[in-house]
Amino acid sequence: MKLKRVLVLFLAILTTVSLVACKGKDTNTDASADQTGTSSAAETTSGDKVVLRMGWWGSQARHDKTIQVIEMYEKEHPNVDIEYEFYDSDGYFTKLNTLVASDKVWDMFQLGGNFPTYLSTIVPLDDYIKAGTIDTSKTTDAFLKTTQYEGKQIGISNGVNTYGIAYDPAMFKEAGVAEPTENWTWDDYAKASNTIHEKLGIYGSSKFDDFAAACGSGIPQSDIKLNFYALTNDGLGFDDYNLLTDYIQMRADLTKSGAYPDPGAIAEIKDIEGDYLVTGEAAMTWVASNQFPTLYQAAGRELKLAPIPRKTADGPAGAALQSSQMFCISKDSEYPEEAAKFLNYFWTNEEANKVLAGERGMSIFSNVTEAQAPDFTPEQVTANDFVNLVGTFEVGESNPISPEPYQAITDNFNLTIQKVIYGELTADKGAKEFYDYAKSQFK
């Protein structure tokens, strides 16, 4: 399988599973308990024994696959013992921030587009690549640059993915609604949602990533030369707040009609397995392509993938391939070279990646994608075909790095939508207040 040459953006992929576990712990541990599973503070034992620590966030499928690869590596390297912890995304960064403050960050830890916040904790990989400890011969400079910062290799992408809309074709057929096309619009999406709700008595659409849809994709859909954030990451990349108004109004209207879950119902979705599309209570949902196989398997029925709706059928798609996340090595690690050896295995070993099966996204290493292809399930084929489709869309220039105030800005946008839903603001006033708030974060 050939990797297409594409523009790759960094976005932090939010995945939601309320589990916390570590090596030697039952992965079904109740997340409400304070059990992160951290074992003894000792980093080594006698002789050449090496103890490494690893942390990540993700779905249960990700946890299971990652643990299996860890065990494979330990079997091949009996002197290495890898302790691990995993969380949902919110819990992960809460724990990571605690570890940063105490200079005890995991030897290997997962990061997304917010990695600039943790630069002081990261060991660049350049020396390990130069020495051959990390073998980058089967990828390209373009993909390596997606995880570089100021000329240094901060990490290596765990996989390439993109956003899309997963949907149930049988529900569309039952409601008499045409399936989404490659260039369907937000008007098409809203009409489909309302019709499905009216005909079937369910949500037309489940939970969306509103900031990614309205801001990350929506602004370049208005003009391919625009971005929500300036390319220099020191301000906003557009100057007309009205570019956000239509999306905010649509979300409020769909919630009012019952075609979209209200904030209380959205709060009930704790993980991808509990999404309303999975439970049969909605016909569509927002999804990252690497999450689609997990969503598909959890649903236990046929699902399909459609591109993000556009503002106009003949306008820009506003979508591009992105690096899902990366693993980095911590400056707190006593054994950074051993960590580099494991991560090289994790990224480039064909047998290990047959287990990982592209759950974090399509590998950037050509030998891996070629080895995985014969074993892909139909849903994995769907996800990879979708990635390749989005890779053909025209995109403008973008900065893959999220600026420091990105989380506060994202939270404010989500709050703005809620205020419009509850009638505290009009969509126009909400868009203006949000724009002014986002702009103020860079002063």
**DSSP one-letter string for 340-389:** HHHHHHHHH-HHHHHHHTTTTSB-S-HHHHHHHGGG--HHHHHHHHHHHH
Write out the DSSP string of 214-242.
IIIIHHHHH-TT--SB-TTSSSBS---GG
Q: Which of 3-7, 218-222, 364-368, 369-373 has the lowest mean pLDDT?
A: 3-7
User: Using 50, 70 and 90 to split pLDDT, how confident is the model at 9?
Assistant: very low
CA distance 194 to 202: 10
**% the chain with pLDDT above 90:** 72
Mean pLDDT across the chain: 88
Residue 390: closest CA among 321, 304, 293, 306: 321
Buried b (16+ CB within 10 A) or exposed e, 197-224: beebebbbbbbbbbbbbbbbbbbbbbee
Contacts of 203 (CB under 8 A, 6+ apart): 193, 196, 197, 258, 259, 260, 261, 276, 281, 282, 283
Q: Which residue has the higher pLDDT, 24 or 240?
A: 240
Q: Check residues 41 and 222 and name the one with the higher pLDDT.
A: 222
Quick one: pLDDT at residue 3?
37
Q: What is the pTM of this model?
A: 0.75
pLDDT above 60 (res 17): no
| Least confident among 270-274, 419-423, 437-441 | 270-274
More confident residue, 440 or 24: 440
* Beta bridge mates, 52: 82
Q: What is the pLDDT of residue 29?
A: 32
Mean pLDDT of 155-177: 95
Instruction: Give the position of tokens 């708030």.
Output: 437
What is the rounded average pLDDT of the residues 29-35? 31
Give yes or no for residue 20 having a pLDDT over 50.
Answer: no
What pLDDT digit, counting tens, does each position of 232-256 carry?
Answer: 889 999 999 999 999 999 999 999 9
Query: According to the 3-state scheme, what is the secondary structure of 49-110?
Result: CEEEEEEEECCHHHHHHHHHHHHHHHHHCCCEEEEEEEECHHHHHHHHHHHHHCCCCCCEEE
Structure tokens, 104? 């005890």
For the chain, the 3-state helix, strand and coil shares in percent, each to the nearest 5, are 45, 15, 40
pLDDT category at 117 given cuts 50, 70, 90 is: confident
Q: Write out the two tokens for 349.
A: 């070993």
Of 4-8, 326-330, 360-364, least confident by mean pLDDT is 4-8
SS3 40: coil
Pairwise CA distance, residues 146 & 142, whole Å: 7
Confidence of residue 168 (pLDDT cuts 50, 70, 90): very high
Q: 280-319, pLDDT tens digit by residue?
A: 999 999 999 989 999 999 999 999 999 999 999 999 999 8
Pick the CATH number of 163-319+405-440 from 3.40.190.10, 3.30.360.10, 3.40.50.140, 3.40.50.300: 3.40.190.10
H or E stretch covering 157: strand 156-157
Q: Which two tokens mark 5?
A: 């040459």
Q: Tokens standing for 236?
A: 């906003």
Q: Is the pLDDT of residue 330 over 70?
A: yes
Residue 400's pLDDT is: 67
Residue 5 clears pLDDT 80, i.e. is over it: no
Domain residue ranges in the chain: 8-158+325-390, 163-319+405-440
Say which residue, 197 or 232, is predicted with more confidence: 197
* Mean pLDDT score, 164-168: 98
* pLDDT-based confidence at residue 149 (cuts at 50, 70, 90): confident
What pLDDT is attached to residue 31? 32
Asked if residue 347 lies in contact with residue 156, where contact means CB atoms within 8 angstroms, the answer is yes
8-158+325-390: CATH number: 3.40.190.10
Q: How far apart are CA 20 and CA 5, in angstroms?
A: 37
Taking residues 20-30, report their average pLDDT. 38
The lowest-confidence range among 145-154, 181-190, 276-285, 410-419 is 145-154
Question: What contacts 53, CB < 8 A, 6 or more positions away?
Answer: 82, 83, 84, 85, 106, 107, 108
User: Who contacts 176 (Cβ-Cβ below 8 Å, separation ≥6)?
Assistant: 195, 199
DSSP state of 139: S
Tell me, yes or no, if the two domains 8-158+325-390 and 163-319+405-440 fold the same way.
yes
